[in-house]
Amino acid sequence: QVQLVESGGGLVQAGDSLRLSCAALGLPLSSHDFAWFRRPPGKEREFVAATRWGGRNADYQDSVKGRFTISGDSAQNTVYLQMNTLEPEDTGVYYCAARPGTLEMSRSDWRYWGQGTQVTVSS
C-alpha cells in the first residue's frame, strides 16, 4: 500500500521553527523523488521544496531559500521539512508529494499526495 502521512504542523509565532514529517509508506526514498507543497489561505497550492531520489539536488521556492531545508531518513523512510524563521506568509496546509525517481529536477508531475498538515504562523 502506498501512502504519504504528514505530521508536525501547528500554531507558532513568527520567528519560530517547526519540523514537518512525511512518512512514506511503500515508497522507498532511494528510488523516489519527494516534495513539499503548501496551500495558503484563499490561494492555489504552490511548490515549496523538493529533493530527488537518494537525496540528490534539492530545489526550493525563492521565498523559503535559506530558511527551509528538505531532508530524508532512509532508515525511517521519512522525509522532513525543517522550517526556521517562520513568517505569517508561511501559513497554509502543507502537503507531501512523491513520484518515481527522475533524471532531472522538475516541480511538476507528482504522482502521490498526502492529506496535508496545517501550519499557522501568527505575527
pLDDT digits (tens, 9 = 90+) for 74-105: 999 999 999 999 999 999 999 999 999 998 88
Residues constituting the chain: 123
Q: Which of 111, 116, 119, 86 is nearest to 34 (CA)?
A: 111
**Rounded distance, CA 74 to CA 79, Å?**
8
**Rounded distance, CA 1 to CA 9, Å?**
24
pLDDT digits (tens, 9 = 90+) for 12-71: 999 999 999 999 999 999 999 999 999 999 999 999 999 998 778 899 999 999 999 999
